[in-house]
Amino acid sequence: MVELIEHISAETDPSHGKVPRDRTMAERMQLGIIPINKPCGPSSHEVGAWVQRLTGAIKAGHSGTLDPQVSGVLPVALDDATKALTFMLKSDKEYVGIMRFHRAVDAARVRRLFAEHVGKIKQLPPVRSAVKRVQREREIYVLELLELDGRDALFHVSCEAGTYIRKLCHDLGRSAGTGANMVELRRTRAAGFSEVQCCTLQQLSDALWLWKERGDESELRKYVLQPEQVLKFKRIIIVDGAIEALCAGAQLALPGVAKFEKGIARNETVMLLSLKGEMVAIGAALMSEKEMKEGTKGLAVKTVRVVMRAGTYPRLWKKHEGSVHDGEEGRTSEKDG
């Protein structure tokens, strides 16, 4: 249960914005994040493009590229939700896969090898990768042997984003002195989604048909999720008068904060939500919980990415001495720079 601390008493104007659960299906699609069960064969880019064509979205993007031969969880964001993709990419990942040792090994030895590779490891990205080939550190949280059949090891791994599982298999084989390669891989969790939450492209197509042709959106609502549901950062609730200022590029000053989640630390990534619970922006906290409790002015959050469309709430502020004020209430969102 999220525990919120009230900073000031504030009410929201019902004539602007909308509680997320009350959005129409068309409005949900504009902020839609769809966890796709990617099949083996197509690239992640192709799957994203198919989802874009099926939904009629203006733009789409995916979180965490999977190789064509890898299946599993591939979240695809539509239109305004693509603004949150950067933050979804940072989430931990989980996989189930099969690696093949080039010579026979026993289960006890494999378990010892796996235990040695839990924690911080060094990886050099493969030659065919989208990033610069420099050694980097990644963390393996869990690496367990599920079954050993001859030279084939069925394994489960939970790891930091950006870990190359194919390279991990290669390094395990080198440590074993036998050599090894990845045979099969499936991603079972990404961006907070598990594989049981995912839909296939056919299921998505069927749900879209039911909505468009029969007016039945019940199936589609299961698959098209909202940023407020997906992102798990701590929350700061802001007053109506600060919203349009943030959408115009301002930073959030403390007088614009209505409530904030307990335990916020300086530099922590936070979600800025309206009093109705709508995602406004994502930012970095410039004050801790204690500082927000005790303070009355100053910048509280540096806005990193605005998600809400400008004009959703009215402009209630005016320029004054380098800051942005929202009228008579005196809520302040200071301009960057």
Catalytic residue numbers, as ranges? 67
What is d(CA 226, CA 217) in angstroms, rounded to the nearest whole number? 15
What are the helix (H) ranges across 4-132? 25-30, 44-55, 85-89, 107-116
Cα 284 to Cα 19, 265, 279, 307, 312: the distances in Å are: 24, 9, 15, 15, 23
What is d(CA 129, CA 132) in angstroms, rounded to the nearest whole number? 8
Residue 221: both structure tokens together: 């609502």
Cα 298 to Cα 71, 92, 287: the distances in Å are: 48, 34, 9
Cα 97 to Cα 107, 113, 148, 296: the distances in Å are: 16, 16, 12, 53
Q: What is the DSSP string of 99-144?
A: EEESS---HHHHHHHHHHTSEEEEE---SS-SS----EEEEEEEEE
Residues in Cβ contact with 130 at an 8 Å cutoff, skipping those fewer than 6 apart: 65
Q: Compute how many other C-beta atoms are within 10 angstroms of the C-beta atom of residue 322.
A: 8
Which residue reads 């540096």 in tokens? 302
Is beta strand 180-190 parallel, antiparallel or unpaired with respect to 71-78? parallel
What is d(CA 282, CA 248) in angstroms, rounded to the nearest whole number? 14
CB 260 within 8 A of CB 237: yes
Total residue length of the chain: 337
Instruction: Please return the burial class of 249, using the count of CB atoms within 10 Å of its CB with bins 0-12, 13-18 and 19+.
Output: middle
